[in-house]
Structure 1
Amino acid sequence: MDHDIHDVIDGRYKLLEVVGQGGHGVVYRALDQKRGAHVAVKCLHPEFASDPAFKARMRREARAMGALSGTSATQVFAFSEAPDGTLYIVMEFLKGRDLETTLRHMEAQNQRLPLDRLKELFRPIVDTLEAAHARGIVHRDLKPANIFVLETDPDGPSSTRSNGSPEYKNGPASVSPLLKSDPPWAIGDSNPPASGDDASSGPQIYAGAASRGCVRLLDFGLVKVMQADPLTREGAIPGSPSYIAPEVWKGRPQEIDHRIDIYSLGAVLFRALAGRVPFMGASRVDILLAAARGPRPSLHALRPDLPPEVDAWVAQALAITPEARFQDVRALWGALEPLLDRVARAPDGAARSGPVPP
């Protein structure tokens, strides 16, 4: 059923305002009346809630984020179906803005992210993707709009994830030094948790995981679990055109693996450094042809303050074939970071945020 502001989902989550919506669902800021904390509640539109494919996709999204508890993936507190048929996910409520908005604002002023800030934002994303890929989870829609930059560091005293509620500060989002076993509703199981169940029993990824950082990786709605049957139909093209790996355009989801995320991350990093996407065109077809057949762009030409070797990094990060790419996100980041550090060691290098050469 459709919901109005002030409705209470499942007797617990009072809807306060709409903070996002799309073709398949609505995201609300809500009050968890049991804990007195602000949360985000994502509800599937009624016309999709009874569709087994959409229910399976939402269930997979919740499990993927639950499996990545302790990383910079958006944290899930609950996933269930209310008595009225509403299928919903309860997540941490975030304050800030997405990286797309941040980059557009800077690009309009001919500025770029300072390199120290870029490293601060992307290190947690690399950690999160590494954890996801280790569990056979592929995001499939990496782009600046799906990287959310928080107003404050959530691991500091002014946490944004729970509006200051002490009950959430050491709950589902806390980092455990142990890798726990999967809970009953983890990836591969067909049953979501009971109404109101928390995701805190989910596995805490990686002993000694890094701080969750000042970013969140959003929207696992297109997530692919490599051990599971693909949900994307043959011929469908998931993802966003400027960040899609060439093999995705074939529309054969069974051939997709974690290396599409490596390509997409390379494209996002290129955008953050260059102020433009690597391949441009008037249509999706134009972008496809440029990405699948054209030469790899020169980042050094767009950012002469970066070492010339950065173009070899671009060529490998955005390689047309998966086999020619970096084979994991750690290798991609490990090859780029020393080049950024070299610039940072130069006078005023780390502080450079613009203007930059056209």
Structure 2
Amino acid sequence: MMKPFLAMVLAFTITARGAERVDNGLLAFYDFNTIEGPIVKDRSGLKPSLDLRIRAQGNTRRTNGSLEIIKGTVITSERPPLRMLNALKQSNEITVEVWFKPGNLKQDGPARLVTISKNISERNFTIGQKAANLQSRLRTTRTSKNGMPAIDTTPILSEKLTHAVYVRDSSGIASLYVNGKKVKGQMTAGAMSNWDSSYRLALGNELSGERPWLGTLYLVAIYNRDLSAKEVALHFKSGAQAKMDPTKLAAAQNEHLFETKIAPLLSKHCLECHDPATTKGDLDLSQKLTAFADKDMIVSGKHEISTLWEAVAKNEMPKKRTPLSTSEKALLKQWIDGGAKWTLSRIDPAIYAQGNETSGNWI
């Protein structure tokens, strides 16, 4: 199940035809809604975003909600997705979801749908098509650098729109789902702590260009937790054209800002005087209940009338210590104006004293 660390991963809800997708643990989301250009946008809302680039754009055809690969190319991140890799290694869980339509049933290799790898023999994860079969490979401390032994399905694919989901929980139980139903389960023991942080994310091919996949992609999502069978079925019901709710996305971005920037900022500058033990000025900024006890202290959406902002802007807080930098003040202002979402039950200074901030994990 999901670890406490995962609270530091952005979550949001996507809606489509009245059905909702699950809202926690999402690391990257591609809906292929951009109809031109070489960039495939990551719609997860996480910063920095994990956008991908089509190496040979002329080998693809883009429409609103799909990307057809008509000739071999690779769609890849321009550098290793460290934010994603670190989150997956720490959770030791993964879900990779793909809506796709094969161009034919003769592809082999397997032809790569989604991969985090270096070449044809070194990977962290891959899901691909092998004729009419699906195959997945996951690197752990108990599998090979190539992610073997793999999970192979029986011939199950057709040249129709297909929903495929790979799920692996922290105990090592791995499952493949096709169109909402589990088709294969297998124990993949070991930890994902040995993942190589130099590998990049790619769609439609191996990074070396030797395992091209042909067909149409409609949606790709990656989570750092194991979706339940019920959640997988819900995503199948939601369909390939699921869209994000902008309001919920904005709220999720504000939550992420709090967890990755504001909580460390408060821990560094404020909790020495404003924690449960000291509460100078009767203010405890370590918990939501006490931080918002005075309705004027932090006014959601209005930094200009928030007492906390006023004290920080005038360098009255922190007292007798180095004031917040210009960039730190800008982050605090952004957080308050964005809704001042507070998602942690308590800010623990011990976490940030060791420099364990997710803000350093750039893509």
TM-score, normalization by structure 2 = 0.26
**Higher Cα radius of gyration:** 2
Structure with the higher strand share, 1 or 2: 2
> Which of the pair is proportionally richer in helix?
1
> TM-score with structure 1 length normalisation?
0.27
